[in-house]
Structure 1
Amino acid sequence: MQHAAYVFDAYGTLFDVHAAVRRHADEIGPDGNRFSELWRAKQLEYSWVRTLMGTYTDFWQLTEQALDYCLRRFPSVDPAIRTKLLDAYWRLDCYPEVPAVLKALKATGAKLAILSNGSPEMLKAAAQSSALDQVLDDIFSVDAVRRFKTDPAVYEMVTLQWRLYPKAISFQSSNRWDVAGAAKFGFGTAWINRSNQPDEYNDFPPRLILPSLEGLLASG
């Protein structure tokens, strides 16, 4: 099925959220993998809690708060590395297949966008760092609605801006909970299951389950 538009989650889907810690792995030491996993987990936890409480705080502040928690949780990691890690988060590596896949989808005439919890500044910096800004038509940040995924208002931004029905849009995310939220809203969804995680949210299944974005080119 050919879609009129392809919309991508940013962190974990286009950009490797663990790249910042990996870049400074020697300085962080043996707790690096656990540190990075917790940083990501807390970042997301804070976004959900803030939305439930109705006290929006932009994603960059949540990223900083999550990092500060991790530095307290892992006293073996020198707190002096904080600035380096935050700087690295602005220039996360994109996954290897991403540029070619987005260019190929763009060549079909489809519209392309990011839809992310990230702040506008974070997303602009990440897209420019990977040169993805050259193929994207839009970057949608939850900052516009001041609620995080999976609030329906987040997904609705795309349909309102582009004047498309949800079914005309294919939404891709590596986060199964994000795929569930998008599926409930009515998007066609692709779960980019990069780490071969077990499925969940069975009442909101994805249209596709793929190990990387490359599968989009074969499936339409």
Structure 2
Amino acid sequence: MIKAVFFDLNETLLNMDLLGKKFNKYFDNEYAMKYWFRKLLHSSVVVGSLNKYTSFSELARVELENLFYENSKEINENIKNDILGTFTDLRVYEDVIASLNVLKENKIKIIIISNSSKEMMNLQLKNSGIISLIDNYYSVDMVKKYKPFNLIYKDVINKEQLLLSEVFMIACHDWDLFGAKEIGLKTAYIKRKKEIFNPYYPKADLEDKDLYSLVKKIIKY
């Protein structure tokens, strides 16, 4: 019986289009944000692989500086804040509220796990209007190891007094689900972006383009 669903936050529940518009304000390239985000994830995996830790916000600022440098553009603190401050203004996708409500109706706990700081998550959940629907939320800051390294999943399982068999992890990132799958969590892939699920990663147990349909599958699982 499924007792809890772990959710990734950015891009899975929160729509990043607003952040994309900020990048478009400074770059003539629709892939600028995606490139920056890939470099950010790469940095987090590198420091994690070497058992080091630097906060996600610090890595994000460094990679933003690098992006401007690579494109021979000037950057200052105002520009950094203008772009990265958008994270707290992100809105949920249209299918999110109904999906969370149906999980609540079925007494399935809703737990958010993110690479962002606890403070950032709090602002994001409040400003997007879903914090009242969330049972708990956890930042990788508490284990000092980013997703997809599975330490955060293990820690949350223990803190929430759950069994691996009682939990589904939902994310729009294949690499995120890889980490969850490695410790035995069931995984569900929500297809938010036009990209191929990496064939070298373990296949998700469930998949859908609509979050509401996906959580209904989990409830029936």
- 8 Å contact kept, 2:43–2:59: yes
**Number of residues paired by the alignment?**
217
Match of 2:211, SS state, is coil
Instruction: Verify the 8 A CA contact 2:143 2:152 in the aligned structure 1.
Output: yes
Worse-superposed segment, 107-116 or 67-76: 67-76
In the superposition, relative to structure 1, how do residues 28 and 77 fare at CA in structure 2: closer, same or farther (>3 Å)? Answer: farther
Is the 8 Å Cα contact of residues 17 and 40 (structure 1) preserved in structure 2?
Answer: no
Q: Give 5+ residue unaligned stretches, structure 1.
A: none
Partner of 2:14: 15
Question: Quick check: 1:35 aligned with 2:8?
Answer: no
Query: Percent identity of the aligned residues?
Result: 24
> Compared with structure 1, are the counterparts of its residues 218 and 12 closer, same or farther at alpha carbon in structure 2 (3 Å cutoff)?
same
* 2:127 corresponds to 1:149: no
Give the direction of change, closer, same or farther, for the CA distance of 1:24–1:72 in structure 2 (3 Å limit).
closer
**What is the match of residue 58 of structure 1?**
55
* Alignment match, 2:87: 89
C-alpha displacement at 1:215, in angstroms?
1.9
Instruction: For 2:144 and 2:87, locate their aligned partners in 1 and report how far apart those are by CA, in whole Å.
Output: 22
Tell me the SS of whatever aligns to 1:84.
helix
User: 2:99 & 2:166 partners in 1: Cα distance?
Assistant: 19
User: Alignment RMSD, CA only?
Assistant: 1.9
Query: Is the contact between residue 145 and residue 153 of structure 1 (CA under 8 Å) also seen in structure 2?
Result: yes
The secondary structure found in structure 2 opposite 1:55 is: coil
- Write the distance in 2 (CA, Å) between the matches of 1:184 and 1:163: 19
User: Aligned partners of 2:147, 2:154: CA distance in 1, in Å?
Assistant: 11
Whole-angstrom distance in 2 between the partners of 1:66 and 1:184: 28
Note the C-alpha offset of 1:69: 1.3
